[in-house]
Amino acid sequence: MTQKIRHDITLGSNIRKLRRQSHLTQEQVVAQLQLQGIDISRSTYSQIECGTYNVRVSELAALARLFGTDYNSFFESL
């Protein structure tokens, strides 16, 4: 029996788009997240945008605040 593997939805491309629309570098986003109490490195943030790291709810909430958007923006076109 062949089992189908369902791929997780990655939000990375939408997060990258929101960051670029905000005219922020990855380093600037990480610095702002750290000010919000999110312990994250630039390397980890890069993995979020690449879809190789599962973003946590607390990180997603902080990103929504930072980008001034709602959660729907993260799931657009998925």
pLDDT of residue 77: 85
Question: Which domain does 21 fall in, by range?
Answer: 12-75
Asked if residue 46 belongs to a domain, the reply is: yes
For the chain, state the CA radius of gyration: 13
pLDDT of residue 78: 76
pTM reported for the whole predicted model: 0.85
Asked if residue 47 belongs to a domain, the reply is: yes
Q: CATH code at 22?
A: 1.10.260.40
Asked if residue 57 belongs to a domain, the reply is: yes
Q: How many domains does the chain have?
A: 1
Q: What is the pLDDT of residues 7-58, one digit of tens each?
A: 557 899 999 999 999 999 999 999 999 999 999 999 999 999 998 998 999 9
Which two tokens mark 21?
């629309």
